[in-house]
Amino acid sequence: METLAFLGVECPIKTYHGQDMMFDGGCFRLPRCAVTEQKMLIKQWYKREGKEIFIKRVQHWAEKMDAQYSAVKVTEARTRWGSCSGQNSLNFSFGGCCSQRARSWIMW
């Protein structure tokens, strides 16, 4: 794994002596650790960043459409980009913040 996609852009990965995954806008920094731990850090980072992105988009569209929602959740779903519940909870796959194609299908 030499790059990671974020918001439709492939960004290089560099390792460093640290504990947390970081992104400086053009390059990902991963701690030097076991691959399984790196994968876990990547998922956590995508979920956290994805939630911020999706919350902003949901707020934008909720205001435009005068719609209500109860929660925004980011999951690891592999077969669908998003869903909603009967309680107005919106669920998005963190993969939706990776590719440009996925972003164009999800509220953009």
28-72 pLDDT tens trace: 999 999 999 999 999 999 889 888 888 988 999 999 999 999 999
* Res. 87: pLDDT tops 60: yes
- The pTM of this model reads 0.80
Average pLDDT, the chain: 87
Distances (CA, A) of 93 to 34, 45, 75: 25, 13, 5
Q: What's the CA gap between 11 and 84, in Å, rounded?
A: 31
Under a CB-based contact definition with an 8 Å cutoff, are residues 81 and 105 in contact?
A: yes
Amino acid at 40: M
Query: What was the pLDDT predicted at 1?
Result: 65
Q: What is the mean pLDDT of residues 6-28?
A: 92
